[in-house]
Amino acid sequence: MLTPQGAGQITTAPLAVAGRVGLVLAGGAGQRFDPSGERYKLVQPLPDGRAVVRAACEALLPWVDAVVVVCGARQAEIANALAGLAWQAVPCPEAARGMGATLKHGIAATPAASGWVVALADMPFLAAGDIGAVVQALAAGARIARPRHEGVPGHPVGFSADCRNALLALDDAQGAGPWLRQQADITWVAGGPGVVRDVDVPADLG
Q: What tens digit of pLDDT does each residue of 10-25 get? A: 777 678 888 999 999 9
Measured CA to CA, the distance from residue 144 to residue 81 in angstroms comes to 30
Specify the range with the lowest mean pLDDT, choosing from 66-70, 73-77, 129-133, 135-139: 73-77
Q: Per the domain annotation, does 204 fall within a domain?
A: no
Write down how long the chain is.
Answer: 206
Residue type, 204: D
| Mean of pLDDT over the chain | 93
Report if pTM > 0.85: yes
Q: 29-38, 49-58, 81-90, 163-172: which has the minimum mean pLDDT?
A: 29-38
The answer to whether residue 107 sits within a structural domain is yes
Whether 66 is in a domain gets the answer yes
Q: Percentage of residues in the chain with pLDDT exceeding 90?
A: 85
Residue 169 contacts residue 100 (beta carbons within 8 Å) = no
Instruction: State the pLDDT at residue 144.
Output: 99
Contacts of 66 (CB under 8 A, 6+ apart): 4, 5, 6, 15, 17, 18, 19, 21, 22, 86, 88, 110
Q: Check residue 93 and give its pLDDT.
A: 92
Range of the domain at 71: 9-196
83, 70, 134, 85 alpha-carbon torsion, rounded to 10°: -10
Residue 202 located in a structural domain: no
Rounded CA-CA distance 205/34 in Å is: 13
Lowest mean pLDDT among 33-37, 62-66, 122-126: 33-37
Q: What is the CATH number of the domain that holds 13?
A: 3.90.550.10
The Cα 186–Cα 160 span in angstroms is 11
Query: Pick the residue with more confidence: 8 or 77?
Result: 77
Contact assessment for residue 194 and residue 125, using Cβ atoms and an 8 Å cutoff: yes
- pLDDT tier at 1, thresholds 50, 70, 90: very low
Average pLDDT over residues 126-136: 97
Which secondary structure element, helix H or strand E, spans residue 19, and what is its range?
strand 19-26
Q: What is the pLDDT of residues 48-76, one digit of tens each?
A: 999 999 999 999 999 999 999 999 989 99
Does residue 31 lie in a domain region? yes
Tell me the sheet residues that pair with 70: 25, 90
Q: Comparing C-alpha atoms, which of 82, 77, 80, 107 is closest to residue 92?
A: 107
> In b/e form, how buried is each residue of 185-200, taking b as 16+ CB within 10 angstroms?
ebbebebbebbbbbbe
Domain count, the chain: 1
Residue 2 lies inside a defined structural domain of this protein: no
Asked, for residue 65, whether it belongs to a domain, the answer is: yes
Which tops the pLDDT comparison, 2 or 44? 44
User: DSSP letter at 38?
Assistant: S
What average pLDDT does range 145-149 have in this prediction?
98
Instruction: Kindly state whether residue 164 falls inside one of the protein's structural domains.
Output: yes
Percent of the chain residues past pLDDT 70, beyond the cut:
96
